[in-house]
Amino acid sequence: MSNDLRSWFVMFPNGMIPLVENWGKIHRSAVLLKSPSIDLHKASVDLPLICTPLRLSWLSRRSSQASYLISALPYIFSFIYIRLSEVLQCTSTSTLYIRISTSDYPSTGRSVLGPLVDLQSTSARMATNAMYLSVSTNPPSLSNSAMRRKVRSFTVRCSTGSASMGAAVPAPWKLADARLVLEDGSIWRAKSFGASGTQVGEVVFNTSLTGYQEILTDPSYAGQFVLMTNPHIGNTGVNIDDEESIQCFLAGLIIRSLSISTSNYRCTESLSDYLSKRNIMGIYDVDTRAITRRLREDGSLIGVLSTEESKTNEQLLEMSRTWNIVGVDLISSVSCKKPYEWVEKTGLEWDFNSKGRHDETFHVVAYDFGIKHNILRRLASYGCKITVVPSTWPASETLKMNPDGVLFSNGPGDPSAVPYAVETVKEIIGKVPVFGICMGHQLLGQALGGKTYKMKFGHHGGNHPVRNLRNGSVEISAQNHNYAVDPESLPYGVEVTHVNLNDGSCAGLAFPQQKLMSLQYHPEASPGPHDSDLGACYSLLCL
């Protein structure tokens, strides 16, 4: 199937169905069927589907694509049945009869323009930009046999079993009810899901193809709207196993298409329900490609997402221009409040490349600046005993624990906004082996005398190439940060071990004399590739 045809289709569990842009009219017309003055068992209504955006003109020229459309018709009807049965609140014994043609006959008496599909010749002909859907609980019929032959319309009986193919999540007839207002003055209309209200945050884009639940629960996204460049989100639902923290800290989720069905053996609830329960806002049916291009050209932008009609665009724009994420201590809002032992045991799914296991007497103290669960899982898979401490935990108390190593974790925001963490890192360096990831890497850079800076739009995704300068190898890494260490500001003796091949930014540091190592990416992945692993951290801590 060619790209131009595929672009107008969306995935359905058992096939492909065309996108329909005008569910609002279907909804309004279907409601008429529920009117007390209309006998549902006698009523039939023609519902116009405005299909100009679908570029139906290619059907007359490409017989192979027309044949594919014919094979997809059962799924088209099944989809229509599911949607109309929701509106009509049909019972399990209800049957809807559906007729599609390019004519609105017999409602207006206009001349017939031709059939949508000729089933006999397996070819398609289109003479208009409007399709007409006739829905009734009785089989529709044409009394004029000559007209019936000319129309060649066909009737499909949709059984209730079609509705079990997938659990519908969004309402296709829903009108745009949300606005995303960026500080550059642009306004983006969208449809909302999840929570309602008004929220402000920094808009960043993530290029990962999968792993949206891990992204939602990554504390490093605190204060940010995450825009997924992968267009179709929500098809696997959510589950209890893939969470990277006990709650969602991001400001909101921006996606192109919200999956109409959820299908995964581990799924426990839909993405929409998941966000609603956690009071996280989300929008879909927005041009994510255009927003991504804007962010790449202009850099990360502050935005306001709102479903409140009482707020004007001017008010939302003012909010976006007065709010700032630079210099804000976000770590204190995501860190644990008291120390705890990580007791979760890992299964085989986390056990890749975990060689040279150490007895659990090997003790690691992990500073929680927004630590992901998979970092702890990977350390546990090597047999480490892990004590997680808050971001404000004194260095003196950590040293009293006599750890074999200290891990400074990932976290959100500006490293310059947490000077207390930098002082803690300074007190620990040189006394025990230390390892830093993302925010921990930046704090180590500052503690060594270096400087950090805010990047134009940051790195967010699972496809960032990094070169190991020690051996020349290249790893595809998972990254999530808006700040970086300036390698030119580092003192003598500090080695830059890794660089990002996209922009040359510093991706790793080492100070062998102090038994120190750090990475600006996530070696534990989740989501992301497994080219890197915490084995480097484990080897360092075992020294």
Catalytic-residue membership of 522? yes
525 φ/ψ sector (left φ>0, alpha ψ -120 to 50, else beta): left
Task: List the structure tokens of 297.
Answer: 């050209």
pLDDT at 515 over 60: yes
Q: Which 8-state DSSP code applies to residue 209?
A: S
* 465 Cβ contact partners less than 8 Å away, ≥ 6 residues apart: 474, 475, 476, 477, 500, 501, 502
pLDDT at 53 over 60: no
Q: What is the pLDDT of residue 527?
A: 72
pLDDT band for position 524 (cuts 50, 70, 90): confident
Q: How far apart are CA 222 and CA 139, in angstroms?
A: 55
- Looking up tokens 């842009």, which residue turns up? 21
Mean pLDDT of the chain: 74
Q: Is residue 25 packed enough to be buried (19+ CB in 10 Å), middle (13-18) or exposed (0-12)?
A: middle
Who wins on pLDDT, 82 or 13?
A: 82
In percent, how much of the chain has pLDDT > 90?
54
Q: How far apart are CA 300 and CA 292, in angstroms?
A: 10
Q: What is the pLDDT of residue 13?
A: 32
Q: What is the pLDDT of residue 427?
A: 97
Q: How far apart are CA 54 and CA 454, in angstroms?
A: 42
Q: CA Rg, the chain, in Å?
A: 28
* 318 Cβ contact partners less than 8 Å away, ≥ 6 residues apart: none
pLDDT band for position 452 (cuts 50, 70, 90): very high
Q: How far apart are CA 537 and CA 421, in angstroms?
A: 20
Catalytic residue among 438, 441, 464, 498: 438
- Dihedral sign from CA coordinates of 313, 314, 317, 322: negative
Are 165 and 78 in contact by the 8 Å Cβ rule? The answer is yes
Question: Which has the minimum average pLDDT: 211-225, 443-457, 490-504, 528-542?
Answer: 528-542
pLDDT at 163 over 50: no
Strand pairing category for 451-468 and 474-486: antiparallel
* 155 Cβ contact partners less than 8 Å away, ≥ 6 residues apart: 97, 98, 99, 139, 140
Q: Which 8-state DSSP code applies to residue 137?
A: S
For the chain, domains (ranges, CATH) are: 3-165 (no CATH), 178-322 (3.50.30.20), 331-541 (3.40.50.880)
pLDDT band for position 107 (cuts 50, 70, 90): very low
What is the enclosing helix (H) or strand (E) of 367? Answer: strand 363-368
Q: Is residue 37 packed enough to be buried (19+ CB in 10 Å), middle (13-18) or exposed (0-12)?
A: exposed
Who wins on pLDDT, 353 or 5?
A: 353
Q: What is the pLDDT of residue 122?
A: 30
- Mean pLDDT of all residues in 476-488: 95
Query: pLDDT tens digits for 226-245?
Result: 999 999 999 899 999 899 99
Who wins on pLDDT, 443 or 26?
A: 443
pLDDT at 533 over 90: no
From residue 179, alpha-carbon distances to 97, 99, 199 in Å are 38, 37, 11
Catalytic-residue membership of 183? no
pLDDT at 204 over 80: yes
Query: pLDDT tens digits for 240-297?
Result: 989 999 999 999 999 999 987 788 889 999 999 999 999 999 999 899 999 999 999 9
Are 490 and 496 in contact by the 8 Å Cβ rule? The answer is yes
pLDDT band for position 73 (cuts 50, 70, 90): very low
Catalytic residue among 202, 244, 524, 537: 524
Task: List the structure tokens of 533.
Answer: 């692993």
List helix spans (H) across 217-312.
271-277, 288-298
pLDDT band for position 31 (cuts 50, 70, 90): very low
Task: List the structure tokens of 124.
Answer: 């398609």
Who wins on pLDDT, 482 or 52?
A: 482
List helix spans (H) across 323-476.
331-334, 373-381, 395-400, 419-428, 439-447
pTM of the model: 0.70
Who wins on pLDDT, 159 or 315?
A: 315
Catalytic residue among 373, 464, 481, 522: 522
Q: Is there a cis peptide before residue 48, judged by omega within 30 degrees of 0? A: no
Long-range contacts of 51-59 (CB under 8 A, 24+ apart): 51/20, 51/21, 51/129, 51/130, 51/131, 52/129, 53/8, 53/19, 53/21, 54/8, 54/18, 54/19, 54/21, 55/4, 55/8, 56/126, 56/129, 57/126, 58/4, 58/5, 59/124, 59/125, 59/126
Question: Which has the minimum average pLDDT: 79-88, 195-204, 442-451?
Answer: 79-88
Are 115 and 151 in contact by the 8 Å Cβ rule? The answer is yes
Question: Which has the minimum average pLDDT: 97-106, 214-223, 299-308, 355-364?
Answer: 97-106
Q: What is the pLDDT of residue 536?
A: 52
Strand pairing category for 363-368 and 405-408: parallel
